[in-house]
């Protein structure tokens, strides 16, 4: 039986695993290593802390090292794991402040190192003043820069949802912000017709959006700091600060060095119980790949909600219980300025990539009965498989109370419902909450018509 558990990485996934395992097996020795200054914090909340909507760093921390210690977990803060030796069953660690090093033995190991921001391989990328924001300490550093009074122009490289959240955070601080993205519309996980609404919302907020262009170099001043971003089309965008918003990749360096196998996606390969292919080694969170239930592919999705669930599953299994993480379907929600956008399932590009043939339907409706005060616009797009009518994907764009409707559609996709079945669902209705035909039902009706029209051509 497992006696000694070592956890590498003290955020959502790692500490969920540690907590579950310790709760179920109080006799288990659990040692958790965290390089940074915080445990169990909301990485997703960092942009809002940078922007000021969240006032304190502490607010982002769900559970402090002291709280974990009170639960019997030996948390080693500011301590980096530098190597994992699977044969000797030990990790090599180093205290970042003191430089002291040592080894910690384990029976089982949880690998939960999260992700690292993608860095485009362009000249100047490593200059001072170029920030990736992944861990809380990154956020603290960026926040300090923004508060220094020295920064007035920010360029964000990448218009994904994290890029836009960071852009907005800088904008609400009154800075001039430009976002550069290589696609024709921002947030490439959405179809372009939805992305256009996002672009409009971003621009309305006074953020410059440079699309269909990409960064080829960062100009560095004599002081060693980034001073401009140069794009493929020849633009030179002056910048006191450059923020990386290109998304993240799994932080797998240590795993690779230790011989813990990766999957085709580049994330750590795990089974449904979060076991890696190395004996007694588990992994969870942004560093692992998950099964996409629609495409069948393995995908890396960096999201706190998955990290928490996966950590919980790993911890239960380590403690001798049984739990599984049955995969993802690509659900995502974000707020872009005052626009709410959400998606679930496959986008058009993803569905095509997975080999599906499908019809689409888009409808414009309102979040409340049209006659009810405060009714807000909502556009809902559905992808339904040909013949079967199975819902493959849905995207929502709208104002207040629009986006969370994606959850009902996520449950539909999870259960492989057809748009015909969805049309019959007993969804909640009252004038302050939806039109008598909820937008979800209207879209299903239109998608069903498209499926049936298509069937007639087969």
71 binds a copy of itself (CB under 8 A): no
444 binds a copy of itself (CB under 8 A): no
For residues 420-449, one letter each, b for 16 or more C-beta atoms within 10 angstroms of the residue's C-beta and e for the rest, the string is bbbbeeeeeeeeeebbebbbbbbbbbbbbe
Instruction: State the pairing for strand pair 153-157/130-132.
Output: unpaired
> Per CB under 8 A, which region of 58-66, 193-201, 224-232, 245-253 contacts a copy of itself?
58-66
344 binds a copy of itself (CB under 8 A): yes
Q: Are 223 and 260 in contact (CB under 8 A)?
A: no
Name the minimum Å distance from CB 126 to a copy of itself: 30
Longest dimension (CA), the chain: 73
Name the minimum Å distance from CB 333 to a copy of itself: 4
Distances (CA, A) of 411 to 69, 282, 355, 393: 37, 28, 22, 11
Q: Are 327 and 270 in contact (CB under 8 A)?
A: no
Question: 109 to 128, contacts with a copy of itself by CB under 8 A?
Answer: none
Name the minimum Å distance from CB 90 to a copy of itself: 32
Look up tokens 């005052």; give the residue: 338
377 binds a copy of itself (CB under 8 A): no
Using CB under 8 A, pick the residue from 196, 277, 425, 454 that binds a copy of itself: 425
d(CA 255, CA 235): 40
38 binds a copy of itself (CB under 8 A): no
Name the minimum Å distance from CB 121 to a copy of itself: 30
d(CA 167, CA 146): 12
Name the minimum Å distance from CB 457 to a copy of itself: 18
Closer to a copy of itself by Cβ: residue 82 or 415: 415
Distances (CA, A) of 383 to 315, 408, 409: 37, 15, 11
Cα distance between the two ends of the chain:
59
Question: 354 to 373, contacts with a copy of itself by CB under 8 A?
Answer: 369, 371-373
324 binds a copy of itself (CB under 8 A): yes
3-state secondary structure of 454: helix
- Upper half-sphere CA count for residue 121 (Cβ side, 13 Å): 0
23 binds a copy of itself (CB under 8 A): no
Q: How many residues bind a copy of itself (CB under 8 A)?
A: 65
Look up tokens 């000021």; give the residue: 52
Using CB under 8 A, pick the residue from 242, 300, 412, 419 that binds a copy of itself: 412
322 binds a copy of itself (CB under 8 A): no
Is residue 44 annotated as part of the catalytic site, yes or no?
yes
358: which 2 tokens? 């499908």
Closer to a copy of itself by Cβ: residue 13 or 31: 13
Write out the catalytic residue numbers: 44
Positions that interact with a copy of itself (CB under 8 A): 12, 42, 44-45, 48, 53-54, 59-60, 62, 303-306, 308-309, 324-335, 340, 342, 344, 369, 371-373, 401, 403-408, 410-412, 414-415, 417, 423-434, 436-438, 440-441
């Amino acid at each position: 039986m497992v006696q000694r558990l070592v956890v590498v990485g003290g955020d959502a996934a790692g500490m969920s695993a540690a907590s579950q395992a310790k709760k179920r097996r109080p006799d288990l020795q659990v040692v958790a290593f965290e390089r940074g200054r915080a445990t169990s914090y909301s990485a997703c909340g960092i942009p809002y802390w940078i922007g000021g909507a969240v006032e304190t760093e502490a607010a982002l921390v769900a559970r402090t090292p002291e709280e974990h210690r009170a639960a019997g977990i030996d948390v080693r803060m500011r301590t980096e794991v530098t190597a994992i030796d699977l044969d000797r069953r030990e990790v090599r660690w180093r205290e970042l402040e003191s430089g002291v090093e040592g080894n910690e033995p384990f029976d089982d190991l949880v690998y939960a190192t999260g992700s690292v921001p993608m860095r485009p391989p362009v000249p100047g990328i490593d200059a001072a003043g170029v920030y990736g924001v992944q861990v809380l300490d990154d956020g603290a550093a960026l926040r300090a820069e923004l508060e220094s009074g020295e920064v007035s122009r920010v360029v964000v490289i990448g218009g994904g949802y994290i890029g836009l959240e960071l852009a907005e955070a800088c904008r609400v601080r009154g800075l001039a912000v430009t976002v550069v993205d290589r696609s024709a519309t921002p947030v490439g996980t959405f179809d372009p017709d939805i992305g256009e609404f996002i672009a409009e919302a971003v621009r309305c907020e006074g953020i410059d959006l440079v699309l269909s262009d990409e960064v080829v170099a960062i100009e560095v001043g004599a002081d060693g700091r980034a001073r401009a971003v140069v794009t493929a089309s020849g633009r030179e965008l002056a910048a006191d600060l450059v923020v990386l918003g290109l998304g993240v990749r799994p932080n797998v360096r240590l795993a690779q060095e230790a011989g813990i196998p990766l999957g085709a996606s580049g994330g750590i390969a795990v089974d449904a119980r979060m076991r890696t292919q190395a004996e007694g080694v588990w992994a969870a969170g942004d560093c692992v790949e998950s099964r996409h239930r629609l495409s069948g592919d393995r995908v890396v999705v960096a999201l706190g909600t998955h990290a928490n669930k996966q950590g919980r599953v790993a911890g239960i299994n380590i403690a001798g219980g049984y739990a599984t993480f049955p995969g993802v379907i690509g659900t995502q929600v974000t707020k872009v300025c005052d626009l709410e956008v959400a998606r679930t399932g496959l986008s058009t590009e993803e569905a095509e990539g997975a080999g599906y043939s499908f019809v689409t339907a888009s409808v414009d409706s309102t979040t409340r009965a049209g006659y009810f005060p405060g009714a807000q616009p909502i556009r809902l797009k559905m992808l339904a498989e040909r013949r079967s009518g199975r819902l493959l994907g849905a995207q929502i764009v709208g104002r207040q109370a629009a986006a969370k409707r994606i959850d009902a559609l996520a449950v539909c996709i999870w259960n492989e419902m057809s748009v015909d079945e969805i049309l019959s669902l007993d969804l909640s209705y009252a004038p302050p909450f939806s039109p008598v035909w909820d937008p979800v039902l209207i879209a299903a009706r239109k998608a069903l018509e498209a499926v049936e029209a298509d069937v007639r051509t087969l």
